[in-house]
Structure 1
Amino acid sequence: MKKKRFILLFIVALISCSKGDEKLPAPISGPHDDEVVVETTNILLDSEFTGLTGLPEDQGGQHIAKPVTDLLSPLGHYIYTPSGYDDDNMDYPLIVFLHGGGERGNSFQDANDLEKVLVHGPPFLIESNRWNPRFPCIVASPQISSGSWSPSLVNGFIRHLLRNYRINNTRIYLTGLSMGGRGCWSYVGQNGNDGFATAMVPICGSGDPSQVDNLSKVPVWAFHGAEDDVISAFTQNGSVPMVEAINENDPLFLAKVTIYPNIGHDSWTQTYSNTGRGTESADYSPFDMSIYDWMFQYRKEE
């Protein structure tokens, strides 16, 4: 009977990956089971990095594959925990990375499909031993099998993480590239500061200007290549018009957009690695600090 029940739950998880707006399977309980509550909270600029300066330096942690077949999670994912995570009881900030369309995969059918999420962004930097943000953090890189990122699917995944990891729920950050950038715009556009995201960095994605009221409630720093012929930076609700719409809407914090001249769709490599600093257009927001420091300077009011 138990075996049949587990098989049924795995099938529900797989269906949820394919139909992002379907009801998600209930994640397993964990250390934060009573704390997964989404409330409207103020987002603060915290130049003192409250709660981060006391975390142990990350000497290189664990990056573990969690295919759908291995756990009761809405999504297969890679999860990175910093080196000090197992040695203390402290809560850590969380960065959720949403992959692009080329990294879709079905780890229910083939666990190796999950490795596709390692080709770009934070998971790539972790795997290549180049992950060195100023403060230690948990990094979660989920994978969808088809379609696009839906806000309900992202929300259910973050809830799962909160139930199973020691996460500082005032410091949850969202970033993604291309389709994942669109997923960031969509998640914050639907949820505003009612959702989990404290700040977001969408890269070469497009948004929905009708959601500008919610987008104005969460700090945004968008990146895009000026020569992007897949998702235009300047038209079709690309990064520039989206940021302009936010800043015309009296946002909580002015949104930023950084544009790379002579760069096409891949504007993520130099952004996540911070190697693009100094190569950006002077006509838009300067790439004047690490995107991770920029995210970490925001937190939700406790």
Structure 2
Amino acid sequence: MRIFLFICLLLQTAVLAGQDLKPFKQIDVQITPWHHIPALIKTPDNMKSGKRYPLLVCLHGRSIAGTDVTKIFRQGVARQMHEGKNIDAVNKLDGKKYEFIVMAPLATSWSLGPEHLYNAISDAMKKYPIDSTRIYITGYSAGGWSVGMAVTDKRMASRVAAAVNMSPATIDAENLKSFHIAAENNIHVWYFGGTDEPVFLGNCKLFADSTNKYKPGLTKLTIGDHKHCCWEQYYDPAYRENGMNIYEWLLQYKR
């Protein structure tokens, strides 16, 4: 059995070696004491000793879940970077340019709940020079569910500096009653939804309103003329509102 598993591992490694994952590499992250999942990771090209970098965690939609990490490139931040776009950004508040560590975990099914997301980030923090005051999360559809669940979970919310949530699926009933947690942790969230995706746009409005009733001004909402799609428009670093793309916007906030 051990020989068989070893051969399978070699074959998987050989297959991955032939895949174009640039500018990422594949790693495994631990989400329970007994379970690891694959993830794509991109670190700055010339990391400086002693320097810590913002972490951007990217959470995929339901159709991406499974075992094939290359599916992550179909949508989201990873697709933009895979196509050669640069998401490094200047923080408008301090005028400094920031390079991100970008991690895109691959859920076995659906997306990652708060406990698994917390553990995945903890594992990454052991391996990479991550600035714990600048942990950002973003997701779309099922990944938007992950973001919504995270900012309404006490332990996970204590880590998040800011978030971008696109067309989120409906979160669990208990979390729907817990947006005070996002407010208490001062988590700014930029929501995106389309006029032709009424359920998902409704979730954007509900999540934003449920946060703002505790702390007005924590959320931002962009409504586009589209159905449940088109996230690439917003993830493209060339897309700007009020002079900022989502990456520049995130960098305004830290814990």
Q: What TM-score, normalized by structure 1, do the two folds share?
A: 0.67
Q: Which residue of 2 aligns with 1:228?
A: 197
Counterpart of 2:88 (choices 133, 138, 152) is 133
Query: 1:122 deviation in Å?
Result: 1.2
Counterpart of 2:181 (choices 211, 214, 217) is 214
**Retained in 1: the 8 A contact 2:115–2:156?**
no
Q: Helix, strand or coil for the counterpart of 2:234?
A: helix
Using the alignment, how far apart are the partners of 2:144 and 2:200 within structure 1? Answer: 13
Using the alignment, how far apart are the partners of 2:201 and 2:123 within structure 1? Answer: 33
Using the alignment, how far apart are the partners of 1:62 and 1:221 within structure 2? Answer: 26
Q: Which residue of 1 aligns with 2:208?
A: 243
Q: Does 1:293 align with 2:248?
A: yes
More helix by share: 2
Q: Which residue of 1 aligns with 2:44?
A: 82
Query: How far does the alpha carbon of each residue in 1:204-242 deviate from its partner, in whole angstroms, 9 at most, with x for none?
Result: 00444301111223111111111115x4312xxx10121
Q: Helix, strand or coil for the counterpart of 2:163?
A: strand
Query: How far does the alpha carbon of each residue in 1:263-288 deviate from its partner, in whole angstroms, 9 at most, with x for none?
Result: 111141111104554xxxxxxxx565
One-letter amino acid of the structure 1 residue matched with residue 81 of structure 2: I
One-letter amino acid of the structure 1 residue matched with residue 138 of structure 2: T
RMSD: 2.7
Alignment gaps of 5+ in structure 2: 10-21, 90-97
**Retained in 2: the 8 A contact 1:122–1:272?**
yes
Aligned positions of 1:37-186 closer than 5 A: 62-66=23-27, 74-85=36-47, 87-106=48-67, 113-134=68-89, 135-186=98-149
Q: 1:287 to 1:144 in 2, by over 3 A?
A: farther
Q: What TM-score, normalized by structure 2, do the two folds share?
A: 0.78
**Retained in 1: the 8 A contact 2:110–2:142?**
no
Query: How far does the alpha carbon of each residue in 1:104-130 deviate from its partner, in whole angstroms, 9 at most, with x for none?
Result: 112xxxxxx111111111111111101
Q: Which residue of 2 aligns with 1:255?
A: 219
Query: How far does the alpha carbon of each residue in 1:50-100 deviate from its partner, in whole angstroms, 9 at most, with x for none?
Result: xxxxxxxxxxx94102257xxx97321000011112x53311110000000
Using the alignment, how far apart are the partners of 2:36 and 2:158 within structure 1? Answer: 18
Q: Give the total of aligned pairs.
A: 222
Query: 1:150 deviation in Å?
Result: 0.8
**Retained in 1: the 8 A contact 2:134–2:253?**
yes
**Retained in 2: the 8 A contact 1:258–1:287?**
no
Query: 1:259 deviation in Å?
Result: 0.6
Q: 1:74 to 1:290 in 2, by over 3 A?
A: same
More strand by share: 2
Q: 1:275 to 1:132 in 2, by over 3 A?
A: closer
